Amino acid sequence: DDDVELLQGHETDADGTYLMPALPVLAIVGRPNVGKSALVNRIIGRREAVVEDTPGVTRDRVSYKAEWGGRWFTLVDTGGWEPDAKGIDRSVAQQAEVAIELADAVLFVVDANVGATATDERVVPMLRQSDKPVILAANKVDDAVQEPNAAVLWSLGLGEPRPVSAVHGRGVADLLDHIMTQLPDVSKVAKEEYGGPRRVAILGRPNVGKSSLLNKAAGEERVVVNPLAGTTRDPIDEQVELGGHIWRFVDTAGIRRKVHLQQGADFYASLRTTAALEKAEVAVVVIDVIEPIGVQDVRIVDLVLESGRALVLAFNKWDELGDERRWQLEREIEQDLAHVAWAPRVNISAKTGRHLEKLVPALLTSLESWDTRIPTGKFNAFLAELTQEFPHPLRGGKQPRILFGTQAQSRPPTFVLFTTGFLDPGYRRFIQRRLREMYGFVGSPIVVNMRVRE
C-alpha cells in the first residue's frame, strides 16, 4: 500500500508511532483536452484513465502520490469541475484558484499545437500574481519539429515553456527534474500527519484533576510507562488503552510532576499547554465543577481553538457537585463557554471513576469531525442554497458575492471562499453556523477563510 512505501526512511518509534511529514504538493491545472490526464498518468507511472468520470460538479480533486529521483510528492488534479452553464472559463479559473490555494507549486498545462486560448489567457494573470512557483508545460510536442510551437508560449509571461509529450513521454523527465527544483522538501501548505495511536493532551489549570484523570485512565500500575524518556527528556508520552483503543497521552510529565511555581506560573502553564497542543490531535480540557469557571479555564479553551485541535470538555469532580452549584455551573457554561458549545461534554469524576468511559466516544466523535472532508461539489451545493436563501446584505449599493468554495484542509476542516469583495464578519459567522447545522463538526473547530478576487 502507498502509505507503507512512504514510511520507509521515516522514523518510527518502538511503539509504532510515526510522524509523516507533509509531502510537497504539486497541483495540475489546464483546460480540458490539453492532455492533463495523460500527463498525470505519465508522472505517476500508471496508464489507467481518470479515476471517475461523472458529469456535473461532482468529481472532486484527486490526489496521487508520485515520486521522482527518490523524492515523493503529492500530485493534485484539480480538474474535477465539469464546465457548468457558465462554461469552461469558469471551471478552469476555479481549478487555478484552488491549485494556488492548496499547492506548493502549480503545473499549468497548455496544448502547444493549439496555442494559448482565451481560457488559458484568463487564468494566466491569476497564476502570475500568485506567490507560488508556476511551471508551464507545453504539451503535445511529440517531436522536434513541433518545438517552435512551445517557444511561442513564452509570451504568456510564465517563464520558460517546457515542451513535453505526455503520450510519448518526450521531455517529461526534464519537466520533472525542473519541478523538483521548484518544490520545497516539506510542504508549506499541507500538514504533517501522525500515524499510530491518536494523540491526546490533557489540559486544565492546576488542581482541576488532570493527574487524577490520567492515573485513573492509565491504571495505577502504568504510572510511568517509559521511565527512560522521563529521566532524559522532560515531556513524556504515555500509551493508554481505553475503550478498546490505544491512545497516546502527550507530554504527561508536566501533569505528573507537580511544579509549584510562584511567579510566572501562568506563563509556564500556558507554555506547557501550547507545547502539548503542538503534539496533540485532540485536547481534553478538564474543568473543576466546584470552582467557578474562570478566565484561566477560558484561556486554555481559547488556546485549543487557536491551535486548531479537536476539543472535549471534561467537567470533573462531579461527585462533589451539589444542586445549587449545578445551576450556577450551567449558567457559567452558557456564559463563558458559549463559543465552544459544539464541543462534547463529559461529566466525570476522576476520583471515583464515574463516567470515565464516556471520554472515549467523545474523543472519537471530535476526531472524526476534525478529520472530515466535505467534497467540493457538496460544499458548493451548500453555498448555492445558502446564498440564494440569504444573500449577503447590500453594502454601498454593492453586493459581495461568493463565487465558489472548497475545503482546502482537514484537521481542522478549513474552507476557502473565493469572493468578489469582503464578506461581513457577521455573514462569515452565519456561514460557519450553517456549516455546523448541516455537518455537525461536533468537537472540532472549523475555519472559513476568504480569498477576495480583485
Residue 169 labeled ligand binder: no
Distance CA 59, CA 52 (A): 7
Nearer to ligand GDP, 316 or 380 (CB): 316
Residue 37 labeled ligand binder: yes
Is residue 200 near ligand GDP by the rule CB under 6 A? Answer: no
Using CB under 6 A, count the residues that bind ligand GDP. 16
Residue-by-residue DSSP string for 329-360: HHHHHHHHSGGGTTS-EEE--TTT-TTGGGHH
Is residue 350 near ligand GDP by the rule CB under 6 A? Answer: yes
Nearer to ligand GDP, 40 or 208 (CB): 208
Nearer to ligand GDP, 356 or 442 (CB): 356
Is residue 351 near ligand GDP by the rule CB under 6 A? Answer: yes
Q: What's the grid cell of residue 352?
A: 471515583
Nearer to ligand GDP, 54 or 328 (CB): 328
Residue 80 labeled ligand binder: yes
Distance CA 7, CA 19 (A): 9
Longest CA span, the chain: 87
Looking at residues 39 to 78 of the shown chain, list those that interact with ligand GDP (rule: CB under 6 A): none
Q: Bridge partners of 110?
A: 138
Residue 234 labeled ligand binder: no
Nearer to ligand GDP, 47 or 258 (CB): 258
DSSP single-letter state for residue 395: B
Is residue 316 near ligand GDP by the rule CB under 6 A? Answer: yes
Residue 213 CB, shortest distance to ligand GDP, in Å, is 7
Distance CA 446, CA 370 (A): 8
Distance CA 349, CA 379 (A): 40
Is residue 124 near ligand GDP by the rule CB under 6 A? Answer: no
Nearer to ligand GDP, 289 or 367 (CB): 289
Distance CA 93, CA 120 (A): 9
Tracing cell 493549439 back to the chain, one arrives at 114
Distance CA 28, CA 95 (A): 8
Q: Which residue is nearest to ligand GDP (CB)?
A: 209
DSSP single-letter state for residue 143: S
Can you tell me which of 59, 170, 198, 317 binds ligand GDP, judged by CB under 6 A?
317
DSSP single-letter state for residue 165: -
Can you tell me which of 119, 211, 369, 409 binds ligand GDP, judged by CB under 6 A?
211
Is residue 272 near ligand GDP by the rule CB under 6 A? Answer: no
Is residue 273 near ligand GDP by the rule CB under 6 A? Answer: no
Residue 207 CB, shortest distance to ligand GDP, in Å, is 4
Is residue 254 near ligand GDP by the rule CB under 6 A? Answer: no
Is residue 207 near ligand GDP by the rule CB under 6 A? Answer: yes
Rg (CA), the chain: 26
b/e per residue 53-73 (b: at least 16 CB within 10 A): eeeebbbbbbbbebebeeebb
Q: What's the grid cell of residue 441?
A: 463538526
Binding residues: 30-37, 77-81, 139-142, 204-211, 251-255, 316-319
Which residues bind to ligand GDP, rule: CB under 6 A? 204, 206-212, 255, 316-317, 319-320, 349-351
